[in-house]
Amino acid sequence: MTKYAIIGCGHRCQMYFDAIGGDHHDAAALVAMIDTNPGRIGVHRQNMAQAWGYDAGSILTGGPDELEAILARSGAERVIVTSPDYTHADMICRSLRAGYDVVTEKPLTIKAESAKAIAAAVAETGRQVVVTFNYRYSPRNCALKEVIQSGEIGQVTSVSFEWVLDTAHGADYFRRWHRDKNNSGGLLIHKASHHFDLVNWWIDDIPARVFASGGVKFYGSDSVVARDLGPHSPRGTHDGPHSPFELDLRDDPRLKQLYLDQERHDGYLRDQDVFGPGVTTEDNLALVVDYRKGPSMAYSLNAHCPWEGYRVGVNGTLGRAELLVVERSAVLFKDDKVEVLDPSYSGSDTDDSVRPVGEHLLVQKHFAKAEERPIVAVGSGGHGGGDVRMLKDVFDGPGEDPLHRPSDWIDGVRAIAVGVCGNVSLAEGRAVTPAELGLPVER
Ligand SMILES: NC(=O)c1ccc[n+]([C@@H]2O[C@H](COP(=O)([O-])OP(=O)(O)OC[C@H]3O[C@@H](n4cnc5c(N)ncnc54)[C@H](O)[C@@H]3O)[C@@H](O)[C@H]2O)c1
């Protein structure tokens, strides 16, 4: 039985609370919750009592300023970090130095300097940092890994990777703290670190040079769309008709309870106008990335597409593998509302016959016809059952894994390396290397 403290009690922590209270209650116990917002802590503490029979009073709570004291008093043995991206490095380093192993959500951190600080804290303490890259566990991503690892398409020479976020899930990044690049590192770090981790893992390589181009072209107060809008509300929670880009927190009991009802504690608005001022996170990005062993990648990310999903092509010396995924076919504005949820986690009921929701893995060897490979769900729950398998590795400890999915802080640095270099490239208009930024990518 390992005792856990969770830092950051907003949305993402729920998966860990449910795992600790449910499937992993034999191996894990929750002893502390840390957050800047006492109201959100209260909601989750009450929920642990109602959903999983915890004695709410037995869970110690407090703000990040009291981190070391709460960890010591609660008897915690391991820390889980689910606070905003810009806070990760501080929370990780302090927890390590206080004597605890850490499990952290992606991204490990958002800058080169804070990545170096984590490397120093790990070297000093000898403690472990696990980064929970749940996309690695998604059966479709595992199926592509198996094809590449088997050598079937030969030595990888290049990758093309296009990810599109829709006007529901994609837009949601521009309502929250993520819209300010200082908080999230932009989507190149916040979102695409998942994608760049997948590539590092799929092709077993390390990024060596990055050129990036892109900008804030759709959201924000300066876009063409914003200029044509006319007067509009600074937030989505208001009476009267809504635009398809607005989120009224009163429509979702969970969002209302976690955010709207807790604004009085910290003033944080979860439903900001995506066409309002303050958006510095780019919504259109294109990158060229070179890898150490020779492959290159063309990558693009768009955050205002009418559908959501991704296409990956991996070219090898013996053929090509292609993964095509549609997570949501369309975003429809029904009854003055759109569905904001991440379709990869929650599933989607917006499907159509022209672009059906689904996933296809094709393998085509030179001088042969394409073959479709099966993608087998490993259970129920988010990401085709992948999240359940990842949580088993986190709470029970990883066993032998032929796909090498469990990830540590170095995988975390390698995953943000493309985004960190990409952000410098965006600012300076040149190709940038992880080496020149001193990113600690070596194992
Ligand atoms: N792997 C995935 O698929 C996935 C999905 C969602 C979120 N995430 C990650 O989880 C993390 C949290 O995201 P979220 O969507 O839950 O955000 P959120 O805003 O819902 O929750 C963050 C919580 O952290 C609290 N907080 C802010 N500053 C803090 C600090 N200094 N110390 C402690 N708590 C602090 C906030 O009050 C809030 O309750 C992010 O790093 C995000 O990238 C990962």
- Give the residue whose CA is nearest to atom 4 of ligand 1: 12
Q: 313: CA distance to ligand 1 center in Å?
A: 32
Q: 82: CA distance to ligand 1 center in Å?
A: 5
Q: Which of 6, 7, 12, when mutated, tests ligand 1's pocket best, judged by the most ligand atoms within 8 Å of its CB? A: 12
How far apart are alpha carbons 180 and 313 in whole angstroms? 31
Q: In this predicted structure, what is the pLDDT of residue 395?
A: 97
- Give the residue whose CA is nearest to atom 8 of ligand 1: 12
Query: Given a cut of 80, is residue 284 above it in pLDDT?
Result: yes
- Give the residue whose CA is nearest to atom 7 of ligand 1: 12
- Pairing verdict, β 319-328 and 156-166: unpaired
- Mean pLDDT confidence for 68-82: 98
Q: In this predicted structure, what is the pLDDT of residue 407?
A: 97
Which residues contact residue 100 at a Cβ distance below 8 angstroms, ignoring those fewer than 6 apart?
5, 71, 76, 77, 78, 79, 127
Query: Given a cut of 80, is residue 382 above it in pLDDT?
Result: no
Fold adopted by 135-219+279-428: Dihydrodipicolinate Reductase; domain 2 (3.30.360)
Q: 305: CA distance to ligand 1 center in Å?
A: 25
- Mean pLDDT confidence for 28-46: 98
Q: In this predicted structure, what is the pLDDT of residue 235?
A: 97
Which residues contact residue 377 at a Cβ distance below 8 angstroms, ignoring those fewer than 6 apart?
139, 384, 385
Q: 13: CA distance to ligand 1 center in Å?
A: 7
Query: Given a cut of 90, is residue 226 above it in pLDDT?
Result: no
At 139-168, the pLDDT tens digits run 999 999 999 999 999 999 999 999 999 999
Q: What is the CATH number of domain 2-134?
A: 3.40.50.720
Per DSSP, the three-state class of 262 is: helix
Q: Contact 127/286 with Cβ under 8 angstroms?
A: no
pLDDT band at 349 (very low <50, low <70, confident <90, very high): confident
Q: In this predicted structure, what is the pLDDT of residue 336?
A: 85
Q: 324: CA distance to ligand 1 center in Å?
A: 29
Q: Contact 375/139 with Cβ under 8 angstroms?
A: yes
- Dig out the tokens for 214 from the structure: 């892109």
Q: 374: CA distance to ligand 1 center in Å?
A: 35
For residue 47, the Cα-to-chain-centroid distance in whole angstroms is 24
User: In this structure, how many other beta carbons lie within 10 angstroms of the beta carbon of residue 328?
Assistant: 28
Query: Given a cut of 80, is residue 379 above it in pLDDT?
Result: no
Nearest ligand 1 atom to alpha carbon 87: 31
For a pLDDT cut of 70, what percent of the chain falls above it?
100
Domain boundaries, the chain: 2-134, 135-219+279-428
pLDDT band at 229 (very low <50, low <70, confident <90, very high): confident
Nearest ligand 1 atom to alpha carbon 13: 16
Q: 96: CA distance to ligand 1 center in Å?
A: 19
**Residue 46 Cα distances to 41, 55, 58, 80, 197, angstroms:** 9, 9, 11, 19, 35
- Give the residue whose CA is nearest to atom 11 of ligand 1: 82
Q: 402: CA distance to ligand 1 center in Å?
A: 31
- Mean pLDDT confidence for 308-335: 95
Q: 291: CA distance to ligand 1 center in Å?
A: 31
CA-closest candidate to residue 382, choices 83, 7, 10, 16: 16
User: In this structure, how many other beta carbons lie within 10 angstroms of the beta carbon of residue 77?
Assistant: 17
**Residue 6 Cα distances to 47, 79, 88, 127, 295, angstroms:** 14, 6, 12, 17, 39
Q: In this predicted structure, what is the pLDDT of residue 352?
A: 86
Nearest ligand 1 atom to alpha carbon 177: 19
Backbone φ, ψ for residue 301 (5° rounding): -135, 130
Q: Which of 17, 35, 104, 193, when mutated, tests ligand 1's pocket best, judged by the most ligand atoms within 8 Å of its CB? A: 35
Q: Which of 6, 7, 9, 11, when mutated, tests ligand 1's pocket best, judged by the most ligand atoms within 8 Å of its CB? A: 11
- Dig out the tokens for 64 from the structure: 């990040």
How far apart are alpha carbons 358 and 170 in whole angstroms? 19
Q: Which of 105, 344, 407, when mutated, tests ligand 1's pocket best, judged by the most ligand atoms within 8 Å of its CB? A: 105
Which residues contact residue 88 at a Cβ distance below 8 angstroms, ignoring those fewer than 6 apart?
81, 104, 105, 107, 108, 109, 110, 114
Query: Given a cut of 90, is residue 335 above it in pLDDT?
Result: no
- From its phi and psi, is residue 58 left (phi > 0), alpha (psi between -120 and 50) or beta? alpha
Query: Given a cut of 90, is residue 214 above it in pLDDT?
Result: yes
Nearest ligand 1 atom to alpha carbon 268: 37
- Mean pLDDT confidence for 179-189: 98
Name the DSSP class of 374.
P
How far apart are alpha carbons 388 and 378 in whole angstroms? 9
How far apart are alpha carbons 432 and 112 in whole angstroms? 12
Partners of 131 in the β-ladder: 104
Cα Rg of the chain, angstroms? 22
pLDDT band at 136 (very low <50, low <70, confident <90, very high): very high
Nearest ligand 1 atom to alpha carbon 88: 41
How far apart are alpha carbons 239 and 192 in whole angstroms? 35
- Give the residue whose CA is nearest to atom 9 of ligand 1: 105
Residues with CB under 6 A from ligand 1: 7-12, 34-37, 40, 64, 82-85, 87, 105-106, 134, 190
- Give the residue whose CA is nearest to atom 25 of ligand 1: 8
Q: 356: CA distance to ligand 1 center in Å?
A: 32
User: In this structure, how many other beta carbons lie within 10 angstroms of the beta carbon of residue 341?
Assistant: 15
For a pLDDT cut of 90, what percent of the chain falls above it?
90
Q: 207: CA distance to ligand 1 center in Å?
A: 27
